[in-house]
Amino acid sequence: MDLHGIDLNLLVAFDALMKERSVTKAGIRIGRTQPAMSAALARLRSLLRDELLVRGPQGLQPTPRALDLAEPLSRALAEIQHTLDFTQGFDPSTSSATFTIGLSDHPTFALLPRLVTLLAGAAPGAALQVRNFSARDDAIDLLDAGEVDVTVGVPAVKTGRILTQPLFEERFVCIVRKDHPVAGRELDLDRFLALPHLLVSPENERFGHVDAALAKRGFQRRLSLTLPNMYAAPLLIARSDMIATLMAGVVEASGHSDELTLLEPPLALDPISFVLSWHRRNDTHPAQRWFRNCVVEAAPRNKAKTPG
């Protein structure tokens, strides 16, 4: 295909359509009207001799040809944007850039409010989009696809194309309701094992950090409830006889700490580490570097150094 006959704006439109799967939303994403986006889609279909996107029960569905094109074109556009931004520099006070961050459950509450405040003060014309994810490998998928600029969550499997920066740690505490029989007493291992347990598992597994620590000592606890949302756990504990072992920051942010008694776990548990992750292709991008520094600054009990 002769590249001289291709309008770069059509590729930008295609990238937006593939990410939004909606003509209207894609237009909003890149600042074009719905008729203009419809016209761009028609030109793309003619140019590539493929329907590319067809209507389905859940919006526009990509054809196999569109799926083959999506990732390579998205990477190419990101590289072009990277080159242009790098040569032009970055001034947050005048920028109208849109930054996209992927957050797991806890960082959404622990980090996002302060990040929003920081961006509003330093880059009032910029916008922030948030994507939530649960499974740690989802973070890598989002970064690989260029759907987010950075993610904050527990470390995923290490890979050379994904760079990371430690942000903060959370220690574990045990919680029971205020008038629970073990409230105010030392929680030894026997009492701990005798109680019904609530397990928070964003990835829907029935074996968590506590279970791993117990297994090393030859013990197993009794799980009465497993759920994916950690912020639902404190209220459920306050209304039941169960015990839960959660990150201290979750209990504090839940709004139910006055209904609970906090106890030290009866076994050693390593704290949970949260990291900032980004794709190597964005490592030297001036705007991206600035945004990563903002995320580090917004982290709770921030002790991290400036990321690369």
Instruction: Look at strands 260-263 and 222-227 and give their pairing.
Output: unpaired
Indicate the class that CATH gives domain 3-87.
Answer: mainly alpha
pLDDT attached to residue 142: 92
What one-letter code names the amino acid at 168?
F
Mean residue pLDDT across the chain:
89
Lowest mean pLDDT across 21-25, 88-92, 181-185, 274-278: 88-92
What does the H/E/C string look like for the chain?
CCHHHCCHHHHHHHHHHHHHCCHHHHHHHHCCCHHHHHHHHHHHHHHHCCCCEEEECCEEEECHHHHHHHHHHHHHHHHHHHHHHHHHCCCCCCCCCEEEEEECHHHHHHCHHHHHHHHHHHCCCCEEEEEECCCHHHHHHHHHCCCCCEEEECCCCCCCCEEEEEEEEECEEEEEECCCCCCCCCCCHHHHHHCEEEEECCCCCCCCHHHHHHHHCCCCCEEEEEECCHHHHHHHHHCCCCEEEEEHHHHHHHCCHHHEEEECCCCCCCCEEEEEEEEHHHCCCHHHHHHHHHHHHHCCCCCCCCCC
What one-letter code names the amino acid at 170?
E
Question: Using CA atoms, how far apart are residues 81 and 96, in angstroms rounded to an integer?
Answer: 14
Do 3-87 and 92-163+280-298 agree at the fold level? no
92-163+280-298 fold: D-Maltodextrin-Binding Protein; domain 2 (3.40.190)
pLDDT attached to residue 275: 95
Residues above pLDDT 70, as percent of the chain: 94
97 φ, ψ (degrees, to nearest 5): -65, 155
pLDDT attached to residue 54: 94
Please say if the pLDDT value at position 124 is more than 50. yes
- Is 139 in contact with 145 (CB distance < 8 Å)? no
Question: Using CA atoms, how far apart are residues 249 and 7, in angstroms rounded to an integer?
Answer: 50
pLDDT attached to residue 156: 77
Over residues 73-102, the pLDDT tens digits come to 988 888 887 667 655 678 899 888 999 999
How large is the average pLDDT for residues 125-129? Answer: 94
223 φ, ψ (degrees, to nearest 5): -90, 120
Cα atoms in the Cβ-side hemisphere of radius 13 Å centred on 12: 14
308 pLDDT band, cuts 50/70/90, is very low
**Quick check: pTM over 0.75?**
no
Q: Of 263, 267, 271, which is closest to residue 214 (Cα–Cα)? A: 267
pLDDT attached to residue 86: 54
59 pLDDT band, cuts 50/70/90, is confident
Over residues 174-206, the pLDDT tens digits come to 999 999 999 988 999 999 999 999 999 877 788
- In the chain, domain spans: 3-87, 92-163+280-298, 172-270
Question: Using CA atoms, how far apart are residues 115 and 107, in angstroms rounded to an integer?
Answer: 11
pLDDT attached to residue 302: 45
172-270 homologous superfamily: Periplasmic binding protein-like II (3.40.190.10)
